Amino acid sequence: MGETGAAGTGINSVFWNPAGLNSIESGELSVMHASWLEGINFQNISYARKTRSAVVGLSAVYLSVPAIDKYDNTGLKTNGTYKPADMAVIFSYAANAGACACRGQPEICFIAN
């Protein structure tokens, strides 16, 4: 899908389309925070830098929601709460290889309670 132009280029392609990193000329930084409904928060920080032969990018994404009450298997509320959260760290790599672009994107995801 990256060859159609539908996916972005530049720093925001770290997550969606790593081949789009090839448009970066030096270094780019992106920082974002969004507060959604019911106290849901989403944060993202991304950085990509052009090297001699490729572009490398690193991104951290964090999603958190307010505490959720615990219930037992009969539907009765207990004294505890869950604190759901999710974090992902993404390393992206893009390099031009003649007529095509090479890319890779391993991800490390953390889930916290």
CB 13 within 8 A of CB 55: no
Q: Which amino acid is at 80?
A: G
For residue 8, the enclosing domain spans 2-112
Give one DSSP letter per residue of 49-68, joined into a string: EE-SS-EEEEEEEEEE---E
- Of the pLDDT bands very low, low, confident and very high (cuts 50, 70, 90), residue 105 is low
What is the per-residue pLDDT for 93? 86
Instruction: Report the predicted TM-score, pTM, of the whole model to 2 decimal places.
Output: 0.72
The overall average pLDDT reported for the chain is: 81
pLDDT tens across 49-72, in order? 999 888 999 999 999 999 999 999
Lowest mean pLDDT among 13-17, 26-30, 97-101: 97-101
- Of the pLDDT bands very low, low, confident and very high (cuts 50, 70, 90), residue 11 is confident
Query: For residue 77, is pLDDT > 80?
Result: yes
**Per the structure, how many domains does the chain have?**
1
CB environment 24-34: b (16+ within 10 A), e (fewer): beeebeeeeee
Share of the chain above pLDDT 90, in %: 42
